[in-house]
Amino acid sequence: MKRLQAVAAKLWYIAQVALLIWSSLIVAGGLGRLANFPGILIFYVSLALVLVGWTFIVVVHELGHAFAASIYGWKIAVVAVGRLTIRPAQRRLHYGLSAFPGLGGAILPIPPEAGNWRKSYVIMLLGGPIANLVLAVCFAAGVLICSESPFWTHYLGVMAGLSGLTCAVNLLPVSKGLQKFDGARIAMALRGENLESWARLARLSAELVTPKRPRDWNPECVAAARDDYASGGSEGALGLMLCAYHLDCGDLEKARAALAWAGERLGELDNVKISKAFILAYFDKDIEGAENLLAQVKSRALKLRPAYLISRAVIARHTNDQQFASIVDRARASLKRSPFTTPADLDFLEGLAGKSSESIVADAAAVAS
């Protein structure tokens, strides 16, 4: 199963690259008729235009979700497109690391506290694909209007196809890593599955994207999430969040249990491996085991994120690696680029930079006891 998932991830990546190249070649065919430039230059300009257009399509998709949610009184904690992260409630805009690695864009919707919102949930999920469908129709109309221009005919035709494809792909009932496509969520709602556990997970996620450190999260959200965790009725991502919460509270055994629970539901995802590696290195002093887990991390995006780099820094400190200072600098820069960094993250890293390996062992033993 794990090998099948890895193959599927590679095929997904190859398909996106192939689609991007194919789209750029079509646009280049129209652009080449307007100017007598070298072919390679025309291709790169076409590639840039396709990337801009595709980004616009993703923006429209996420805004479609957000607009549909706002009609029914939902709150939007985060809107993210690529490296841009917007937190409407806090009126904060951040450009740096992607808020949702591996996804072109995503939103974090928070449902109303009371009432039956199943119907509005489905409509909110449909908002993105419908927005793409409407946009595809607009692009197709542009093709008819600009039929005498080879460039606009090719470019708008490609954009219409990409927007329609984005609509169709998002309606597939499949998952990608920690995230489920819109179609998978819609299928859950139409099957009559209990959505309350998802809602409680969403409310806890809203705490995660604030500057609060985990132990300062809303107690009611944490209590509700812990009840779902105890009953086994939520998604694996909950285990990762509760692991961070318990670690910040100094309860190592509960953190281990939450992480094991996440691993059972999510499989050996890279996020799970990174969290396990940190615990092995910082608390168990199992440097070899931690290094083996980090060596299995495939996602390039996750290797640039604070959690991975901090785990690397802990290993480097224990082994007195000469690259320790360099790794800490990379982790510090990553924390500054991350949209969800808390002061506690920076404090931990700065504390790590000023400690010897012996003091790290003593601190870890104190938490474990």
DSSP per-residue string spanning 170-236: HTSS-EETTEE-HHHHHHHHHTT---HHHHHHHHHHHHHTSS--GGGS-HHHHHHHHHHHHHT-S-T
Residue 276 lies in a domain: no
Q: Number of folded domains in the chain?
A: 3
Confidence of residue 265 (pLDDT cuts 50, 70, 90): confident
User: Which domain, by its residues, includes 216?
Assistant: 194-267
Query: What are 315-320's contacts with CB under 8 Å, separation 24+?
Result: 315/281, 315/287, 315/290, 315/291, 317/352, 317/355, 317/356, 317/357, 317/360, 318/281, 318/285, 318/287, 318/357, 318/360, 319/287, 319/357, 320/357
Shared domain for 113 and 38, answered yes or no, is yes
CA–CA distances in Å: residue 278 to residues 241, 273, 310, 325, 354: 15, 9, 8, 18, 18
Question: Across residues 157-185, what is the average pLDDT?
Answer: 89
In this predicted structure, what is the pLDDT of residue 200?
87
Shared domain for 152 and 177, answered yes or no, is yes
Shared domain for 248 and 173, answered yes or no, is no
Of the listed ranges 53-67, 260-274, 295-309, 355-369, the least confidently predicted one is 355-369
pTM of this prediction?
Answer: 0.85
In this predicted structure, what is the pLDDT of residue 369?
47
How far is Cα 259 from Cα 105, in angstroms, rounded to an integer? 26
How far is Cα 143 from Cα 15, in angstroms, rounded to an integer? 26
Contact criterion met (CB below 8 Å) for 323 and 366? no
Greater pLDDT, 219 or 211: 219
Domain boundary among 217, 239, 267: 267
DSSP codes of every residue in 291-360: HHHHHT---HHHHTSHHHHHHHHHHHHHTT-TTHHHHHHHHHHHHHH-TT--HHHHHHHHHHHT--HHHH
- Residue 135 tokens read as 């946009």
Residue 207 lies in a domain: yes
Residue 204 lies in a domain: yes
Question: Across residues 293-297, what is the average pLDDT?
Answer: 95
- Residue 276 tokens read as 């396990």
Q: Please write the tens of the pLDDT for every residue from 20-29.
A: 999 999 999 8
- Residue 125 tokens read as 């999920």
Shared domain for 85 and 50, answered yes or no, is yes
Residue whose entry in the numeric block shows the structure tokens 């708008």: 156
Shared domain for 200 and 180, answered yes or no, is no
Domain boundary among 267, 292, 307: 267
Greater pLDDT, 353 or 7: 353
DSSP codes of every residue in 242-283: HHHHHHHHT-HHHHHHHHHHHHHHH-S-HHHHHHHHHHHHHT
Shared domain for 181 and 76, answered yes or no, is yes
Shared domain for 32 and 172, answered yes or no, is yes
The H or E element that residue 105 is part of is: strand 105-110
Contact criterion met (CB below 8 Å) for 317 and 299? no
Shared domain for 302 and 224, answered yes or no, is no
Q: Which residues is 86 bridged to in the sheet? A: 79, 93
Contact criterion met (CB below 8 Å) for 127 and 65? yes
Greater pLDDT, 340 or 136: 136
For the cut 60, the answer to whether the pLDDT of residue 2 exceeds it is no
Q: Is 166 helix (H, G, I), strand (E, B) or coil?
A: helix
Domain boundary among 238, 267, 296: 267
Residue 274 lies in a domain: no
